[in-house]
Structure 1
Amino acid sequence: MIDKPIQYNGGYVLGISLISALGGYLFGFDFAVISGALPFLRAEFLLDVWWEGFLTGSLALGCMLGCMVAGKMADLYGRKPGLVLAAAIFALSSIGMALSGNLSVFIIMRFAAGIGVGMASMLSPMYIAEVSPAEMRGRNVSINQLTIVFGILITNLINYMLADTGPDAWRWMFGLGAVPAVLFLIGVIWLPESPRWLMKAGQHEKANRVLAKIGNEHFVEMTQAAIQKTLVAAPKASYADVFQKTVRPALLVGITLAVFQQLCGINVVFNYTSTIFESVGADLDRQLFETVAIGVVNLVFTLVAMWQVDKLGRRPLMLIGSLGLAVTYLVLAFVLQNGASAGIVSLLVLAAIALYATSLAPVTWVLITEIFPNSIRGVGISIATVSLWGAYFVLVFTFPVLAKTLGAYGPFYLYAAICLLGFVFIKAKVTETKGQTLENLEESYIKH
C-alpha cells in the first residue's frame, strides 16, 4: 500500500501563526514608541544622557525577566498561558506609562511593559515554529518579525501625527498601546496549544487533534513518531540541562546570534533616530519623519526576507547582512564625522535598515526557534532571548554616553567591527536549517 502524500492545511496554519505573531506587534510598538516620545520625555523629566539611556533600556531589563518567566512557564504549563499573561501585562503597563506622574513611576511601568514584551518575544516565534510544517516554518516564523516591523511603522506614524498636539503627546503615544494588547489577548484565547508541548506533557489525544487540523493523517503519524522519538529519555526542562555537553553547540550558536543581533548596532537607529539626525541639524519634524521612513523600509525588506528565507536559506542571508552592515556603518560613520547633509545620512541609515530587515532581524529569530531540542526548547530559547535583551540594554544604555563623548559618528565604527566578527562566527558555526523538521535539526545540531 502506498502512503498518501503529506498535505497541509495552509490557511489554518497561517491563521494561528498570524494571531500568535500579534505578540510581535507589541514588541514593535514598545520598541518604536520611545523614539518619538524621547524629545517630549527629555523635557518632561529633565533627562541627562545617563537617565535617557537607562529609561530607554529599562524595557530590556523587564524583557530579561519576562523571558526567564516565560521559558519555565512554557515548559511547565504550555505556550498559550504565557501568551495570555503577556498580553494582559502589556495592556496594563501601557496605561500605566501614559498616566505616570514622575520618572520613577514611568520607569517602573516601562520595566513592566518589558516583562510582557519579553514573554511575547520568546513565546510567539516558538509557538509558530512548533505549529508550522518544515516547508513553511521559516516564512511563518518570519511573520513574527513582520508584525514587529508593522508595529514599528504604525507606531512611528502615530507618533508623527501626535507630535503637534502639545507637551502631553507622549502620554497618548504610550497609552494607545493598550489597544493592540487587548486585541492580542482576545486572539490568543482562540489558539490551540502547541502539539509538541502536548506530546511532551503526555496529552497525546489533544496533540493528535491539533495536528489533524494542521495536516492529513500521514502528516499526523509522521510528526507524532518524530516527536516521540526525541522525547524518549529526554532530560528535564531545567536551566542546568541546557548547559549539558550535548546541547552546548546549539546554546553557543543561539546565544551568540542573539547577542550579535543587538550589538550589531542597528537598534540605536530605531531608538535614537532623533539624536542621530539632530547631530546633522535636522529639526524635530524631520527627525520624526525619518522614523516613518525607517518603518516603511523596514517593512518592505522584511517582506523580502520572508520571500527568501525558505528559498535562499538562513545562512546566506545572515552572511550578506553582517558583511553589508559592516561596510554601511563605516561609510555612515565617515559621513557623520565630516558633517554630511541629512539627506545623505538618511540614505545610509535606510540602507542599513534594509540589510538588517532582510537578514539579522528575522533570521536570528528563525534560527533560535529551530536549533534547540523539543524537550528543552522553552528553556533554551529563554536563555538565548535573555541574552538578546541583555545585549539590547547594553547597546541603548551606552549609546547616549558614547555619542556625547565620541560624537554621534563614533559608535558606528565600533558596530562595524562587531559586524565583521559576527560574519566570521556565522561562517564558522552556523549550518543551514531550511526545509528540515525540528526533529531532524535536533539530531544535527546536538551532534554538530
Structure 2
Amino acid sequence: MKYNKTYIFGITLVATLGGLLFGYDTAVISGAEKSIEAYLIRPLGLNSLIHGATVSSALIGCVAGGMLSGLFSNRFGRKKTLLISAILFFLSALGSGFPETLFFTKGEPSIGLLLAFNLYRIIGGVGVGLASAVSPMYISEISPAGIRGRLVSFNQFAIIFGMLVVYFVNWSIAYGQTIEWINDIGWRYMFASEAIPAALFGILLFMVPETPRYLVLSNRDEKARTVLTRINADRLRAESILFEIKQSIGRVTERSSIYSYGKVVIFIGILLSVFQQFVGINVALYYAPRIFESMGAAKDASMLQTIIMGFVNVIFTVVAILTVDKWGRKPLLITGSIGMAIGMFAISWLAYNEIIGISTLVFIIIYTASFMMSWGPICWVLISEIFPNKIRGQAVAIAVTAQWAANYLISSTYPAMMEYSGALTYGFYGLMALLSALFVWKMVPETKGKSLEEIERLWKK
C-alpha cells in the first residue's frame, strides 16, 4: 500500500520527542537520587519512605497528567496538548535543577527547598503524563494500518533512547568528580540538561499537522482530507479512509459514554497498563545504579552497568519495532512475560542466597531485554489502537492514569520492600510477569494489520 514515507516518518519523529522527554525525565533521577538523599533527605533526618516518595514525586504529576490527557486532547487537540507538555518539561527541568528560585531563598537544605524540588518534579510529571498518553495516540491516529505498530513502537524506542542519553549525561557530569561536588552541584546540572530537548520539541511541534481523526471529531473534514491525502499520497485512498472515520464517529455521536463499546475494552486497557508496571521495570530503571551498588559494584561501575542496560534496552526495542507488524502483538507479549519471569525469579534466588556477581547483571539484562522487546513498546501500541475513535481520548486517559498510579505504587514502595526482603521483592515481580502472560493469552485480541476502524468493529461484535 502506498503512502508518503518521508512525510509520515518526519511527523512520527517529532511526535516521538515526547517519548524521548518521557524517558529523559523519568530516568534523570537514577543518577541524581543518591545526591538528593545526601543533599535534602539525610540532613533533615527524614526516613526511607520520604526518600522513596521524593524519588517518585514526578509520578504524582504523571498520574495527574494522565487524568488530564483525555480532557486536553479532546478539547485542545493532540498537537496542542503535546505543546503544553513541552512547556511543562522545560519549566520542570530548570526548576528541578534550581528549586530555590521558587521561594527566592538560598539553596540550603530545608523542608521548603524539598517541597519546591518536589513541586517542580510534579510539574514535569504532568508533562510526562500528557506526553505518555498523547504521543502514541497522535502517532496511531496518523499512521497507515500496515506500519502502525512499527511507528508507535518508535515512541518506545525514543523513551529508551531518552533514558540512554540521560544515563550518558549523568555519567559525564559525575565522571571524575568528587562525591561532594556531585551532591552539592552535579545533580543540578543533571536535571537542568533536560531543558535543551524540551525546547527543541516545542519548536518542532509547530511544523506538524493535527491528526485526521481529531480533525473529523472537531468537524474539520477538509483539513482532515488534506492531511490524509498527504499521508497516503493517494486522494482516492484518503477519501476512503475519511469515509470510514466519519462512519465510525457518526455511529456513536449520541452515545459518547466511555462504556459505549462495553466495559471489557476499558478493563483490558487498564490491565495492560497495570501489568506493564507491576512487573517492576521502572524499579530497574529508577534505581539501577543503587541496585548494582547493593550487589557489589562501585559507584563508577554501577553507572557503567546502567549504561550497558541502556544499550540492551535500545537493541531489544529495535527487535520489537522490526517484528510487531510481522509476528503480531500477542506472541511478543507472551514471550516477553516468560522471559521477565525467568529473569526476576533468578534474581530473587540470587538475592536469597546472597550471591553477588556477573550472574546478577546477566539476569537483569535477560529481564530488561524481555521487557523491551514486548511490554515496553507493545503495551503502548495496544493502548493507542484498541479504543474506538469516539472514546479514544477518554479511554487512553483512564489507561494511562492507571499506569502511572501503578508506577508510583511500585516505585515508591521499593526501598521499604528491599529493606524487608530483596528475594521476596524480586519474586513478586516475577509472579506478576507470569500473571501478565496468562492475561494476554486469555483476554487481549490480536490487532496486527487492522485499521483503527476495523479494530473498533471487534468491540461492536
When normalised by structure 1's length, the TM-score is 0.95
1:230 aligns with 2:229: no
Match of 2:161 in 1: 150
1:233 CA drift (Å): 3.8
Q: Secondary structure at the match of 2:56?
A: helix
Match of 2:108 in 1: none
Q: Where does 1:71-82 land on structure 2 (aligned, <5 Å)?
A: 71-82=70-81
Match of 1:324 among 318, 324, 339: 339
1:236 CA drift (Å): 6.7
Match of 1:3 in 2: none
For residues 213 and 41 of structure 2, what CA distance do their matches in structure 1 show? Answer: 50
Q: Where does 1:129-168 land on structure 2 (aligned, <5 Å)?
A: 129-163=140-174, 164-165=176-177, 166=181, 167=183, 168=185
Residues 371-405 of structure 1, C-alpha deviation per residue, up to 9 Å, x if partnerless?
A: 11101111110100000000000000110000011
1:274 CA drift (Å): 2.5
Match of 1:268 in 2: 283
For residues 340 and 31 of structure 2, what CA distance do their matches in structure 1 show? Answer: 24
Deviates more, 1:155-164 or 1:168-177: 155-164
TM-align CA RMSD: 1.3
Q: Would the aligned equivalents of 2:213 and 2:224 in 1 still touch at CA under 8 Å?
A: yes
Deviates more, 1:393-402 or 1:212-221: 212-221
Amino acid at match of 1:85: I
Residues 79-103 of structure 1, C-alpha deviation per residue, up to 9 Å, x if partnerless?
A: 1110110000110111000002421
Q: Secondary structure at the match of 1:334?
A: helix
**Structure 1 segments unaligned to the other structure (5+ residues):** 1-5
Match of 2:88 in 1: 89
Match of 1:287 in 2: 302
1:170 CA drift (Å): 0.5
Match of 1:25 in 2: 20
1:411 aligns with 2:425: yes
Query: For residues 185 and 236 of structure 1, do their structure 2 counterparts lie closer, same or farther at Cα, with a shift above 3 Å needed?
Result: farther
Deviates more, 1:372-381 or 1:271-280: 271-280
For residues 417 and 117 of structure 2, what CA distance do their matches in structure 1 show? Answer: 24
When normalised by structure 2's length, the TM-score is 0.93
Query: For residues 267 and 237 of structure 1, do their structure 2 counterparts lie closer, same or farther at Cα, with a shift above 3 Å needed?
Result: farther
Match of 2:106 in 1: none
Match of 2:134 in 1: 123
Q: Would the aligned equivalents of 2:41 and 2:51 in 1 still touch at CA under 8 Å?
A: no
For residues 279 and 178 of structure 1, what CA distance do their matches in structure 2 show? Answer: 32
Match of 2:208 among 161, 180, 191: 191
Q: Secondary structure at the match of 2:209?
A: coil
1:431 aligns with 2:445: yes
Q: Secondary structure at the match of 2:369?
A: helix
Amino acid at match of 1:178: A
Q: Would the aligned equivalents of 1:75 and 1:376 in 2 still touch at CA under 8 Å?
A: no
For residues 32 and 79 of structure 1, what CA distance do their matches in structure 2 show? Answer: 25
1:205 aligns with 2:222: yes
Q: Secondary structure at the match of 1:435?
A: coil
Residues 292-329 of structure 1, C-alpha deviation per residue, up to 9 Å, x if partnerless?
A: 11111000100010000000110000000112211211
Match of 2:4 in 1: 9
Residues 149-197 of structure 1, C-alpha deviation per residue, up to 9 Å, x if partnerless?
A: 0000010011111114423111000000000000000111111011011
1:148 CA drift (Å): 0.4
Amino acid at match of 2:124: A
Match of 2:119 in 1: 108
Aligned length: 438
Match of 2:355 in 1: 340
1:275 CA drift (Å): 2.7
Residues 262-282 of structure 1, C-alpha deviation per residue, up to 9 Å, x if partnerless?
A: 011121111111332222222
Amino acid at match of 1:423: A
For residues 182 and 195 of structure 1, what CA distance do their matches in structure 2 show? Answer: 26
Q: Would the aligned equivalents of 1:75 and 1:237 in 2 still touch at CA under 8 Å?
A: no
**Structure 2 segments unaligned to the other structure (5+ residues):** 101-112
1:290 CA drift (Å): 1.6
Q: Would the aligned equivalents of 1:309 and 1:363 in 2 still touch at CA under 8 Å?
A: yes
1:225 CA drift (Å): 1.1
Deviates more, 1:320-329 or 1:18-27: 320-329
Amino acid at match of 2:458: S
For residues 348 and 306 of structure 1, what CA distance do their matches in structure 2 show? Answer: 23
Residues 206-246 of structure 1, C-alpha deviation per residue, up to 9 Å, x if partnerless?
A: 111111110111220110111011111425797xx2134x3
1:445 CA drift (Å): 3.0
1:446 CA drift (Å): 4.1
Q: Would the aligned equivalents of 1:277 and 1:342 in 2 still touch at CA under 8 Å?
A: no
Q: Secondary structure at the match of 1:242?
A: coil
Q: Secondary structure at the match of 1:409?
A: helix
Q: Would the aligned equivalents of 1:84 and 1:188 in 2 still touch at CA under 8 Å?
A: yes
1:203 CA drift (Å): 0.5
For residues 208 and 183 of structure 1, what CA distance do their matches in structure 2 show? Answer: 29
Q: Secondary structure at the match of 1:70?
A: helix
Query: For residues 277 and 236 of structure 1, do their structure 2 counterparts lie closer, same or farther at Cα, with a shift above 3 Å needed?
Result: farther
Match of 2:55 in 1: 56
For residues 199 and 336 of structure 2, what CA distance do their matches in structure 1 show? Answer: 35
1:55 CA drift (Å): 1.2
Amino acid at match of 2:249: L
Q: Would the aligned equivalents of 1:249 and 1:446 in 2 still touch at CA under 8 Å?
A: no
For residues 21 and 255 of structure 2, what CA distance do their matches in structure 1 show? Answer: 28
Query: For residues 92 and 403 of structure 1, do their structure 2 counterparts lie closer, same or farther at Cα, with a shift above 3 Å needed?
Result: same
Q: Would the aligned equivalents of 1:29 and 1:177 in 2 still touch at CA under 8 Å?
A: yes
